[in-house]
Amino acid sequence: MRRHRFALVTAQGKIIGMEFAPRRNDGTVAVVTAVVDIMVVLCAGYGFVLSGLSFGAPSPQEVQDAAAARESVLAFLAWLVVGGCCLAAVFRCWKTAVTHLILVGLPLLVGLGFQGAN
C-alpha cells in the first residue's frame, strides 16, 4: 500500500512529518457519490429551469419569485459543494472530493454565469 508523506517546517526550523495511508474504499465511495451527485444536480437543474417558466408575459412579482427560486437553488448547490468537499477531506477521500467538486461545482458555475447574465 502506498503511503503519503507530508512535512511541515516550523518557525524554529523543526520538521514535523505526518504519514497516512490513503483510504481503500475511496474509489467505491467516489462512484456512489457520483451517482448521488448526478441525481441531486438533475433535480436542482429541473427546479432552476422550471422556476422561470410562466404562461404569457410574466408580471414583475413572477420575475422576482423566479429570481428568488434560482438564487435558492444556487445557494443549495454552493452549500452542497462546500459541505461535500469538507466531509471528503475529513475522511481523506480525495477521489471523492474531486468527483464531487466536478459534478456539483461545474453546474454551480454555469448557474452563476446564467444568473449574472440575466
**1 falls in which pLDDT band (50, 70, 90)?**
very low
The SS3 call for residue 2 is coil
Name the residue ranges covered by the structural domains of the chain.
23-117
Q: Is the dihedral of CA 108, 109, 110, 113 positive or negative?
A: positive
Q: Is the dihedral of CA 32, 38, 39, 41 positive or negative?
A: positive
What is the maximal distance between C-alpha atoms in the chain? 70
pLDDT tens-place string over residues 4-24: 555 556 667 666 655 555 578
